[in-house]
A and B are shown apart, each in its own frame.
Chain A
Amino acid sequence: MSGVNVSRRNFLKASGVVGGGLVLGFSLTGCSSRPVPVEPVAGAFVPNAFIQITPDNRVRFYCPRDEMGQGVTTGLGTLIAEELDIDPQSLDVVFAGVHADYNNPDFGTQGTGGSSSLRVHYRQLRQVAANVRDIILEAAARDLGAAKGDLKTDSGSVIADGERHPYGKFAATAQTLTAPESAPLKSRGDFKYIGKDFVRLDALEKSTGTAVYGIDIDVPGMHHAAVRRSPVAGAKLVSVDKSAAAGIQGVTDIVEISSGVAVVAEKYWQAKQAVAALNPTWEIVELGSVNTDKIREDYLRAIDAEEGIVETEGEIAPAFSNAAKVLENEYWAPYLAHAPLEPMNAVLRIENGQADLWTGTQGPAAAEGLVSRFSGIAPENIRVHSTYLGGGFGRRGVLTHVIEITEIAVATGKPIKLLWSREDDIKHGVYRPASLMKIKAGVDEAGQVTAWQAKRVGGNIMPQTLKNMLPGLLPGVPASIINAAVGLSNRAFGSWTIDESSIEGLFEDYDFPNREVSHVTVEHQVPLCFWRSVGHSYTSFAKETMMDELAEQAGLGSVEFRLRNTKNKPRLNNVIKVAGEHMKQMRPAEGRYLGFAAHNCFQTDVAQVAEVSVERGQIRVHKVTCVVDCGVAVNPDIVKAQMEGAIMYGLTAALHGNLSHRDGTIQESNFHDYPILRMNESPDVEVVIIDSEEEPTGVGEPGLPPIAPAVANAVYAATGQRLRSLPLTLA
């Protein structure tokens, strides 16, 4: 296999932002001597950035990752609880402030995404907690005059001679000791909490309306802001008539900011009315003449061009000549918005040279950097208070709203809450890129795919990600240098064929002895971003519906055919086998048909069977069986919930998701024309988790990619129509 392989996970390192290279020598998290942002209770034992134990035995866990629904407080809290030997439900979980100790080891910055949290923290946080437990035992031995070897722990207490002593009792002595670096970890057989189901730690708050999101924060003197942005992304303001807006009751300020015009008022409703009353004129940009049809035409031209080979293996041409059957198809996937249910928002207070930002974000360190860059306040005088996220899906890694609120707060001198409307969210988002894909594949008499030639055309996410992230990650670096770096990255990635996010999932899963993968970048200046499962969200559709067609050509069932082509992928092979066994047991009612698909992403393997009917041209998904191998399932019930959720998210895309451009403007605006799957359309889901000894792999995203092709394959069984365009629409 030739070609450079740059993964999204490692893109910061690979692009040289971390560890020298493109931008040399800047630390991403500022001065490492900065104190850890914990607020110690008097007399508490604070052994590290993650754990605090008070004299009255309350254990606080500073969670380094953000909670967007994926259950990370429970998942990471379980790791802490397991090795510290306390009941996870007794943990007091708080979201960590910004500090290098809380970095995501894979990202080199404090970020949550890429289905990475349990994988990257599985050993680290267990070790942190095991070391703390060890030091508590040491302190107990001293305080009780006992031999350390005679002491045990149980649910937050040291047991000595059958007597229980809460950990907190030893906080003072523990404080004077140095923690070991590698206290022994529990072996799997000793786990009390890992691998067991229990109620999510945030379930109570989230069932009683008491969980706090960014939108719920109020500070004294706070004013409300709304922003009017150009309908065409990237167009700057030329002029604005503010007179009508200024006359609306409660409006206090109207300020021009980099993304448009902001109105500030005493109440949100006033700001919302006023922003609609603004009369702005925007500059004309190239995107302004782009329609969806043109995008498709540009892609169609590019897909037939002989260019863009990324990787080759084996000899593709002879493999096609020798194949028993050859198929060639094109596949389309549209732009999509993330539409988390909580629209973008933040609260910012700047007072006496100190800034406090409250927001639910996938990148608190970048948020801090943006506040610093746009306010001139040094990072050490900025506090980021992470809240719960009302959904993330990748959207909350892009922080335009933080730039906006900082500009507004600086211009007005007021504490501000900025809230985007749903229309802002759909029309001014950062999108899952549209894609045109072509696959040509050959299969031999034995049902082995011998040749696989795949190509994708569309925009690349990586250059835009750098453009969005660098200003926040490197707040101390002048804009001119950032722009130069972004310019370099545009040249590197923009014309570059190997933005792994663009083609991931198109070719890796099966044992193709001869293959060729190509990519042609065609840009229309539409803002792009990671969207749950990223490239896999569309490549799986092309790959898995093609595999179904090939199976049919080979005269094999969809399961048997995939099994024959995954001999070198034992984990994927196994989920296919197990899902196949379930499929055999399924007895679809009259008029219902089954479809199968499997996919590997974020190191996790998933196979799904969809039970579908088609009535009066309507596709209805009744049931989905989902088999997943994600290594150790730290909390199996949350793994199930993530599979259920990813299936629904993927079904929304499969059945409804579509954004269109006219004159560069997104035509959709709210849930009436960008519909989200509702309960009356949602299937029953059964999740089967493969028992595994291997370390945890991704869970938040891998449930999504197989669902669209599984449904499309079932639709073929039901109607004989092969659907190769998303969203799925019957002829």
Chain B
Amino acid sequence: MIEFTLNGQIVRTDDDPNTPLLWVVRDTFKLKGSKFGCGAGLCGACTMHVDGQAVRTCVLPVFRVEGKQITTIEGLGSPDSMHPLQAAWTEQSVPQCGYCQSGQIMSAAALLEDNPSPTEQEVDQAMAGNICRCGCYVRIKRAILSVAENAAVEDNGLAYNAAAVMPEVQS
């Protein structure tokens, strides 16, 4: 039995400990916002926060997150209470097919937590692990920089809403 915190709630699973966290979150805990794109840590579609760091969860065995804090796109914000990045993504019509965008937003949120006013090069660097096959890069970059700018102006930080958006948790 492995126990960890998922979007603020303690959860337990008896899935095979080698199962990548992505599949445990998607199939056992039924949070479908995190996506599968490559299964090899190459595309970033599966990005979640593990103790605040952006991590590729398709290659992270679930036993490695014992006791850790996991945040998914659902925990970052919800349609009714969006993270500033999600609001910027929406206002600027960033997504095309949308499939990569949870991972993009999770990587961007971790970047801004770390570095609230990144340069363009720092954004490039931090986002280089996330593929967008639809090629939304111009807008992704613009949205991140616009949030960084607003945060600088308002100086209200980017603490995200970790209020869990959790369906019934199975153990």
Interchain CB contact under 8 A, B98 and A641: no
A422→B45 CA distance, assembly (Å): 12
Docked pose: A671 CA to B42 CA in angstroms: 6
- From residue A48, how far is it (CB to closest CB) to chain B in Å? 29
* Beta-carbon contact of B132 and A341 below 8 Å: yes
Min CB gap B123→A, angstroms: 7
Nearest B residue (CB) for A650:
B135
Q: Which residues of A contact B86 (CB under 8 A)?
A: 207-208
Q: Is the CB of A647 within 8 A of B90?
A: no
A380 within 8 A of partner (CB)? no
Q: Are B35 and A341 in contact (CB under 8 A)?
A: yes
| A209 close to B (CB within 8 Å) | yes
Task: Give Cα A142 to B24, complex, Å.
Answer: 58
A206 at the interface (CB under 8 A from B): yes
Smallest CB gap from B107: residue in A: A679
- Any chain B CB within 8 A of the CB of A388? yes
| A218: interface (CB < 8 Å) | yes
Q: A375 → chain B, closest Cβ, in Å?
A: 25
Q: Which of B40, B93, B99, B140 contacts A213 (CB 8 A)?
A: B99
The distance from the CB of B135 to the nearest CB of chain A, in whole angstroms, is 3
Complex Cα spacing A662 to B64, Å: 38
Contact, CB under 8 Å: B131 / A341: yes
B95→A203 contact, CB < 8 A? yes
Task: Report the Cα distance A712→B67, complex, angstroms.
Answer: 53
Closest residue to A338 on the B side, CB-wise?
B133
From B40, B133, B136, residue with most partner A Cβ within 10 Å = B133
B57 located at the interface, meaning its Cβ lies under 8 Å from any Cβ of chain A in the complex: no
With A390-B99, A671-B131 known as contacts, the answer to whether A207 contacts B36 (CB < 8 A) is no
In the complex, which of the residues A70, A211, A213, A638 has the most CB atoms of chain B within 10 Å of its own CB atom?
A: A211
Residues of A within 8 A of B123 (CB): 679
Asked if B89 contacts A203 (CB within 8 A), the reply is: yes
Whether A205 contacts B135 by the Cβ 8 Å rule is no
- Contact indicator per residue, chain A 380-421, by CB within 8 Å of chain B (1) or not (0): 000000001111110000000000000000000000000101
Chain A residue with the shortest CB-CB distance to B130: A679
- Closest B residue to A391 using CB positions: B97
Within 8 A of B (CB), among A69-87: 69-71
- From 14 to 35 in chain B, residues with beta carbon under 8 angstroms from any chain A beta carbon are 15-16, 18-20, 23, 27, 30-35
B100 at the interface (CB under 8 A from A): yes
Contact with A along B65-100 (1 / 0, CB 8 A): 000000011100111001000100111011111111
- Whether B30 and A218, one on each chain, are in contact in the complex, defined by CB atoms closer than 8 angstroms, is yes
Residues 210-253 (chain A) with a chain B CB within 8 angstroms: 210-213, 215-216, 218, 224, 249
Partner among B16, B30, B98 whose Cβ is within 8 Å of the Cβ of A206: B98
B1 at the interface (CB under 8 A from A): no
From the candidates B19, B33, B96, name the one contacting A209 in the complex (CB within 8 A).
B33
B161 CB to closest chain A CB, in angstroms?
A: 12
Query: How distant is the Cα of A645 from the Cα of B138 in the complex, in angstroms?
Result: 9
- Kindly state the separation between the CA atoms of A567 and B42 in the bound complex, as whole angstroms: 48
Confirm or deny: B117 has a beta carbon within 8 angstroms of a beta carbon on chain A.
no
Known: A215-B35, A269-B23, A343-B36. A388 touches B97 (CB 8 A): yes
Contacts of B96 in A (CB 8 A): 69-71, 641-642, 645
* Contact of B39 with A by CB under 8 A: yes
Contact B98 A680, beta carbon cutoff 8 Å: no
- What residues of chain B lie closer than 8 Å to A267, measured between beta carbons? 15-16, 19, 23, 27
Closest residue of chain A to B77 (Cβ to Cβ) is: A208
- Chain B, Cβ-Cβ closest to A272: B39
Report the interface size class on chain B: 35 or more
- Residues of A within 8 Å of B27, CB to CB, are 218, 224, 267-268
Which residues of B sit under 8 angstroms from A422, Cβ to Cβ?
37-40, 43
Flag whether B10 is at the interface (Cβ < 8 A).
Answer: no
Contact B34 A209 (CB under 8 A): yes
Q: Are A645 and B125 interface neighbours, CB within 8 A?
A: no
A interface list, Cβ under 8 A from B: 67-71, 199-200, 202-213, 215-216, 218, 224, 249, 267-270, 339-343, 388-393, 419, 421-422, 637-638, 641-642, 644-649, 670-672, 676-680, 682, 684-685
Q: Contacts of B77 on A, CB cut-off 8 Å?
A: 208
Task: Pick the 4 closest A-B CB pairs, nearest first.
Answer: A209-B33, A648-B135, A206-B98, A390-B99
- Interface flag for B128 (CB, 8 Å): yes
Nearest chain-A residue to B72 (Cβ)?
A: A209
Please give, as numbers and ranges, the residues of chain B lying within 8 Å of A199 by CB-CB distance: 90-91, 93
7 new A-B contacts, CB < 8 A, other than A268-B23, A641-B136, are: A208-B73, A208-B77, A209-B101, A209-B102, A391-B134, A645-B136, A682-B135
Bound CA–CA A671/B43 (angstroms): 7
Task: Report the bound CA distance from A419 to B79 in whole Å.
Answer: 28
Residues of A within 8 A of B37 (CB): 341-343, 422
Q: Contact check: which of A210, A339, A392, A678 meets B128 at CB < 8 Å?
A: A678
Which residues from chain A contact B12 at a C-beta distance below 8 Å? none
Question: What residues on A are CB-neighbors of B140 within 8 Å?
Answer: 679
A678–B137 alpha-carbon span in the complex (Å) = 8
- Specify which chain B residues have a CB less than 8 angstroms from the CB of A218 in the assembled complex: 27, 30
B33 and A208 contact, CB distance less than 8 A: yes
CB distance from A513 to the nearest CB of B (A): 38
B16 & A269 in contact (Cβ 8 Å cutoff): yes
> Which residues of B are found within 8 Å of A391, using beta-carbon distances?
97, 99, 133-134
Which of B77, B95, B96, B124 is most buried by chain A, counting CB atoms within 10 A of its CB? Answer: B96
Whether the pair A209, B40 counts as a contact (CB closer than 8 A) is: no
In the bound complex, residues from chain B placing their C-beta under 8 Å from that of A390 are: 35, 97-99
Contact B132 A208 (CB under 8 A): no
Asked if residues B45 and A341 are in contact (CB atoms below 8 Å), the reply is yes
Distance in Å from the Cβ of B8 to the closest Cβ of chain A? 16
A-B contact pairs, 24 of them (CB 8 A): A203-B95, A204-B90, A206-B101, A207-B86, A207-B105, A209-B72, A216-B32, A267-B15, A267-B19, A268-B23, A270-B16, A340-B99, A341-B45, A342-B37, A388-B98, A390-B99, A419-B36, A422-B40, A644-B135, A644-B138, A649-B133, A676-B133, A679-B128, A680-B124
- Among B127, B129, B134, the most chain A Cβ lie within 10 Å of the Cβ of B134
